[in-house]
Structure 1
């Protein structure tokens, strides 16, 4: 797609038509012009924006709009309307026009509206392409990744999701451990059953024990009524226990019993309860090391570690950074420029995907247009990735790495980089890159 859109101007007013065509040609647009609808329909090749007068002899603007939408739905149409024809302009908008202008209008206003509707059209098309691309890199809802480490994660999820075996998910904070737990549940045969999550780091020992196993009235101060525990609520479904390394030995022993027999007692109760629950645990610590330090039960570790899924840190996921950024911005109706993407690729992301999304959320908040060209990463959130140098050097390294990863397939590389083939060729020439 060119830097400026090609434009078709259709107006029976020869003076206005010529003025608009001359102005647009001088400012870098490829322009075609026609005095009426029939001849305009022969000039559609390569047209990205059409400026159409509403009232013309022969085929009127509304009819031409319908014909244009049928011939090429991607053409953004701006209707020109005179005084007293606003109702027709509204009808045109309902019929698919991107905008309308009321005559008399300045040439600058015409050019501004062309720029605006083209940007919206370009954004919509990029988003459609990204949605199609993401279908192949996001096999599980919310988890995006094309890198080898993430493909290994997806393969493990596929293999174990329908089994009742406990799963231990390991990874740094912000790598998406709960998303993996949800994928294990909602893509499994248990998906109609409850998915219940608890974060052990946020609760004191007594409260955590009560949350997990429930309690009887009067079992401790404040226990004014019986309470069902999360294990009971999750019966026949999945219980996700996050930050399991933070649990007290007493809680660990009760979880071990659940894994071994499916049985437990609520706090203050003498009766056994039995559940069928799949336990998925997560930690950002080295549980084996915690066992060695006496902070985590060895027998519970081995019961949990039957299947272990280790999530890679974002810094080890290569071009997944670009995929994640575009996926997030797609949901916000935004795209991202090469410079901003180079900034993201040049950061080490110690906070992983969570930090990336927080950075993008901040960028969206302070950006009023559809395209984010500049991103600032707050200082103190981690050193830049090991690519010291200027923004141009970071961008050069990123483009070179992507090209080499796809054996210089320009179409594939431009898709990953989120840019057009033309712009990628321009960057290749700019940096004198050679295969």
Structure 2
């Protein structure tokens, strides 16, 4: 790795460490003020942000990015309003730092508290979606963490414009500007530098495609919060309500195909299929979705033969795999084999069946009669999310401000000694 990037990482990292030390005891009021001010700046400077986004869209088109990736990159007034609303929502949340998670007294005379405390410095490496600049900056600040942001080369100008608004918010609240830093280069060598920056970064969060996340998980020496694939399943049980199932399946696949919460596989119980026919498949086909399947479902006009690896594939496109299963247990077995531990939804009016599905699957998010597209921190009431984590340690599901905290023990005695 080029020495200049090692030096740049050291410079950014040292500033982040110093800022994190100050943020650890920053008041809730100042952090909220910074975010409210940043939200105001984003809206006031929206034309500047749109102009920057046009440069990025042109760059993405020249690179030959897929329509789904370009959709992730594009900003309009609705999406910018979403960024503004997300900043304000995070500002209004309860400050997670200093929360007493548990407390107890010991017979030895000690009073012990477990208290939420910031992680320190968070590194976020992301592709395409410039809103991550605001979401990650806001959540890290709320949790008292400094953050180092390395956006994708295709979102460079948009991220830079949004970052400027975040810095203005910090300035107006009297907080250190180095609390939210954006890596000032497109060079991929900075990704490698961040992954090895154990002296400066406490956790890395990758947001992007399988290639990026896989690289981070393989190469990082810093701990990682991440999900590799969003292979989300929807299971239409024999006791599903037909109209609910039709709405949910269509939304789960087609609302936005390029996000990690998009459904990639539809499982249909044989009894549901016998009763209602191929209506769920036909709805998808009418909406322009390519349905890859096998066996009986291939008799539905317009479906195509699934390849062996289509079950367990993240399409991020208007494509879905579909399969008939014999009951909830076969659905569970399929998801265990092919799922990625992200999000699964069961469509059923049977409480016992739903409970079995929830009990026997261990994905980060399990839903009943709801679209997998709700797998999002904003929809969970977190204001925003820094990512979805499917690991088993520390954070799972949407990673919001509370999940960006660790804890420490505060122990009080009265001249207490150990015998």
Q: What TM-score comes out, normalization by structure 2 length?
A: 0.26
Larger Rg: 1
Q: Higher strand fraction: Structure 1 or Structure 2? A: 2
Q: What TM-score comes out, normalization by structure 1 length?
A: 0.26
